[in-house]
Amino acid sequence: MNIQEHYLTKYVDRLIDLAFDEDVATGDLATQYILPINNMATARFTAKASGVVSGLEIVKRVIDRMGDNEFTPLVNDGDEVERGQDLLIIRASYNNLLSCERIMLNFFQRMSGIATMTRSMVRRIEGTRATLLDTRKTVPGHRVTDKLAVRHGGGANHRMGLYDMAMLKDNHIKAAGGIIPAVKALKNKLSIATKIEVETTNLTQVEEALQAGADIIMLDNMSYEMMSKAVNLVNGRAKTEASGNVNIETIADVAATGVDFISVGALTHSVKALDISMNFSIED
């Protein structure tokens, strides 16, 4: 799935509106009384740790809200950077830079942290058939930016929400009376272009999902041995996705089972922000 431009326009701009509402609201009480509004300054963003950059486009959207500026990126989203490396220079009104400093850094640091973690995990599964996926375990409102950061880190996006792919979990299956009737009910209602994924926890359920015609079979919290057996059982008749408690230490072993996808919620729900500083030089 690609994050299309209309998503960025519709959702990210609304998210930035909320960021300004909660942080600036009626005005920056300290900044607006210190300097004349036309004083210019240059802000330099610098990585304080090594990592992967993500969020330059979002930072630009934030500063553009404040008026004219000179935006000069020194790297690209997805680039690996070292501690002490300059990432971005913005020349604008000092008042404007100060007023949206925290908003820019909040986006930039979080997205770069997600991209950095994603790249670390992608490296662990290089040479295997597995593709690293994110999940819906994102901060409310930040799903588009979180998933964009995963792509910058080299991962791929799972469904954006409940609306763009049908995933049958245990409660759906119980309510429908089993995997086969649950899948049948969806196939009777959905377009043939809509993917259907079924969550399974054992080989019997995997066989039922295959019989039902599932497009993707999630292997949830299975042992490595059971996952390998499930992959062999599926034998290319559907895609397989490993899920459940996957981390940087275990992901290589999971990939070795032969699964097509590995979904990791920690990419977005337990991210450590990349430390990025923003230092100013004021023009006379």
| Catalytically annotated residues | 102, 137, 169, 199, 220
Q: Is the distance from CB of 227 to CB of 254 less than 8 angstroms?
A: yes
List of residues 6+ apart from 134 with CB closer than 8 A:
118, 146, 147, 150, 155, 156, 157, 158, 263, 264, 265, 267, 268
CB atoms within 10 A of CB 34: 11
Return the closest-CA partner of residue 233 out of 262, 254, 198, 204: 204
Q: Is the distance from CB of 45 to CB of 100 less than 8 angstroms?
A: no
Instruction: Determine the Cα–Cα distance for residues 84 and 134; give it in Å rounded to an integer.
Output: 29
